[in-house]
Amino acid sequence: MTRIEKLEELISKDEIQDRVKELAEEIERDYQGNEIIVISVLKGAFIFTADLLRYLTIPSQVEFLAVSSYGSSTKSSGVIRIIKDLDVNIQGKNVLLVEDIVDSGLTLNYLKHNLKSRLPASLKICTLLDKPDKREVEIYADYVGFVIDDYFVVGYGLDYSEYYRNMPGINLLPEEYL
Ligand code: IMP
């Protein structure tokens, strides 16, 4: 089965870059004079994080976390487990958690509470995409790239069954593919 189908583009590569740059400017303004630890949630946020970091000029470190969620490939079950933890202690640090997309909010809610329990000086959340329609817990990101309708999207780090992460824009995956 070929995986290089032509999908309908929702957000282009250039639109993403312009927005990521704006987000970096917003983050810089808020953290003026401070250092941050950027925590990227694998695998979905790896490309977004790489671009965001390159636009940031404040002193930044980067760390990675990986989570697994039991459930179908398109819907989180809410049972979330950290499968790769941070390599550093974040106590007393300014932490910026970077996610690819917030859907039910269950993953982010779990990570927020987990990281808060490690006593960072501050914790903010940045997500490239926000799909508010299916939210199951009340959770808000401090920085949001794009708010989208309830589509399943792939590309720019986001996958379906581990494919499509390498597409440069955000694309719609038709229902019949799911
Ligand atoms: P939540 O826990 O339901 O908010 O789901 C968050 C996670 O589900 C994200 O970090 C993604 O890994 C995945 N996810 C949710 N919606 C999409 C989508 O449209 N495309 C690709 N992955 C998605």
pLDDT in tens, 3-45: 556 899 999 999 999 999 999 999 999 999 999 999 999 999 9
Residues whose CB is less than 8 angstroms from the CB of residue 34 and which lie 6 or more positions away in sequence, other chains included: 58, 94
Flag whether pLDDT at 89 surpasses 70.
Answer: yes
Residue 105 CB–ligand 1 contact under 6 Å: yes
Q: Does residue 79 surpass a pLDDT of 90? A: no
Rounded to two decimals, the pTM is 0.95
pLDDT of residue 1: 45
Both structure tokens of 142: 């401090």
Assigned token pair, 70: 């039991």
Q: Which pLDDT value is given to residue 176?
A: 81
Which range, of 68-72, 77-81, 172-176, averages the lowest pLDDT?
Answer: 68-72
Establish whether 142 is a catalytic residue. no
Which residue has a Cα nearest atom 11 of ligand 1?
A: 101
Q: What is the pLDDT of residue 2?
A: 45
Residue 84 has pLDDT above 50, yes or no: yes
Separation of alpha carbons 100 and 28, rounded Å = 20
Question: What's the pLDDT score for residue 172?
Answer: 96
The closest residue, in CA terms, to atom 16 on ligand 1 is 103
Model confidence over 94-142: pLDDT tens digits? 999 999 999 999 999 999 999 999 999 999 999 999 999 999 999 999 9
Catalytic residue, candidates 14, 30, 100, 103: 103
| Residue 155 or 5, more confident | 155
Residue 107 in contact with ligand 1 by CB distance below 6 A: yes
Compute the Cα dihedral for 51, 56, 61, 66 and give only its sign: negative
Q: Which numbered atom of ligand 1 lies nearest the CA of 109? A: 2
pLDDT of 82 above 60:
yes
**Cα angle value 110/168/18 (rounded, 5°):** 80
The helix/strand/coil state of 101 is: strand
Give mean pLDDT, residues 70-92: 84
Q: Which atom of ligand 1 is nearest to the CA of 134?
A: 3
